[in-house]
Structure 1
Amino acid sequence: MCLINLQFRNHPSYKLIIAANRDEFYSRPAAPAHFWDDEPSILAGRDLTQLGTWLGVTKQGRIAALTNFRDPTNLEAGPLSRGAVVKNFLAATSSPEEYLKSIDPKQYAGFNLIVGDAEKLLYYNNIQHESYEIPPGTHSLSNHFLNTPWPKVTKGKEKLASYMAQTEKADLEELFTILADADHAPDTHLPNSGVSLDLERMLSPIFIKTPDYGTRSATVVLVSHDNTLTFAERSFENGQFKEDIQFDFKIN
């Protein structure tokens, strides 16, 4: 997952709005969003290589999402898959605070994590091994810290905040349109994250499309004030639309 835009406890109709893109190599197999056979309360897509996930929810309202942390100076991979961090929280019953304390940051390559529910969300980064409660408002997370003003982060926050300020009922298609923005940022606005200028350009859009890597799925999660949860996923194959899937249920 390379971009997570969210609006938290700042809307008259919704406790939480998430609009997120997952970027990955096209060759890495993954299953679309579904309720898992081995963890029936978990609704998420699934990485079929390590059996973890990048973003998911549960019938009880637990929510978790992860992005990789871009740090070319520290490319050593941890022994465990980062997708397990999301899966393990969704399968647990411990509080977000207790769960984050249980993570051994050295077991994983760099990541950012958002965990909690529509009442309370925590942000955690295993590079700094610190966490804090996410305040109400509109936020965005890419492959650095929460709200680091990379072009896609700034644009994602602004577009989500602007759209939700104009509507009482979110239109999924409008949110997917925000996530489909494939415009590259000007070179003068690109971050210096330690990769080449060509790679910074390639990774700068909200929606990424290259010959072998790009946006594999877009996900929208809505939690209304009456605890109705909508989970909508739009998947892509080699940058082209593949299918839409939607689930709606009341949080237990």
Structure 2
Amino acid sequence: MCLVGLAVDMHPDFPVVLLGNRDEFHQRPTRAMHWWRAPRILAGRDLQAGGSWLAFAPDGRFATVTNYRDPDQGPAARSRGALVTQALSMDSQAFHRHLIEQGGAYGGYNLLWSDGEGCWYHSNRLDDVPRRLSRGVYGLSNGVLDTPWPKVAALKEALAEALETDTLSSSGCFGLLRDPRRPPDGSLPDTGVSLEWERLLSSAFIVSQAYGTRSSSAMIQRRNGRITVEERGFDPEGRETGRRLFRFGAA
């Protein structure tokens, strides 16, 4: 993922709401969200590296990863996409130890996940142990959690406003993600890439022939444990190519 909004215990009916955009080179081979046989998770698959960027367990636990943008970092020994599947298949304490002891073997990452007891965050660009998230609305892109880039701040604000209504739906979340606006140059972050790339990457929804928003996803967890997940795919022109809707979890 490249842009994520997460709400934890901010609505009486929806304890967790997660939405985000995956931005990637259009030529990178990808399979859309589906139920994997092993491990048993709902996720898209990066057919080049084999991992994923967003996944859900049948009981509603989730994991999502973004890269930490650093043009100077060298090649990593391990793929960040593996963290998503590990978060949902490993024992919680063992996974925490893995992040602390082995996190440096991965490229720069931000990881958000839930373990059935709460939601967590960890980045190997912070000298820190995994942090349990308290009640709130969070935003994540390619800096650390809640770095106030314009598109992160805008998504957090829009999600907070949406949570004030009684009609929140996964379909309604997609309007929050499909925002093509670019901030003025003076508001752009300086992440070490060219100004042209900073401009392209500054919008929530990215459209270009080579690189752009490949898919948007939204998950709503209800108080009774029922989960609704929807994914929408997009082509290089920003046109929708398909929708996938999944409902699962305790009744």
Range class of TM-score, shorter chain: over 0.9
SS in 1 for 2:197: helix
TM-score by length of 1: 0.94
State the superposition RMSD in angstroms. Answer: 1.4
5 Å-filtered alignment, 1:47-196, equals 47-74=46-73, 76-92=74-90, 94-95=91-92, 97-103=93-99, 104-117=102-115, 119-130=117-128, 131-165=130-164, 167-196=165-194
Q: Are the counterparts in 2 of residues 42 and 58 from structure 1 also a CA contact under 8 Å?
A: yes
Structure 2, unaligned runs of 5 or more: none
- 1:129/1:101 Cα in 2 relative to 1: closer, same or farther (>3 Å)? farther
Amino acid corresponding to residue 6 of structure 1 in structure 2: L
Q: Are the counterparts in 2 of residues 121 and 133 from structure 1 also a CA contact under 8 Å?
A: yes
TM-score by length of 2: 0.94
Number of the residue aligned with 2:215: 217
Number of the residue aligned with 2:31: 31
- 1:118/1:200 Cα in 2 relative to 1: closer, same or farther (>3 Å)? farther
SS in 2 for 1:193: coil
C-alpha distance in structure 1 between counterparts of 2:105 and 2:180, whole Å: 34
In the alignment of these two chains, the number of paired residues is 247
Deviation at residue 248 of structure 1 after TM alignment = 0.5
Amino acid corresponding to residue 94 of structure 2 in structure 1: E
Q: Are the counterparts in 1 of residues 15 and 222 from structure 2 also a CA contact under 8 Å?
A: yes
Deviation at residue 171 of structure 1 after TM alignment = 2.6
Q: Are the counterparts in 2 of residues 15 and 118 from structure 1 also a CA contact under 8 Å?
A: no
Deviation at residue 121 of structure 1 after TM alignment = 0.8
- 1:38/1:98 Cα in 2 relative to 1: closer, same or farther (>3 Å)? closer
C-alpha distance in structure 1 between counterparts of 2:201 and 2:75, whole Å: 21
Aligned-residue identity in percent: 38
SS in 1 for 2:160: helix
Q: Structure 1: which 4+ aligned runs deviate by more than 3 Å?
A: none
SS in 2 for 1:149: coil
C-alpha distance in structure 1 between counterparts of 2:21 and 2:250, whole Å: 24
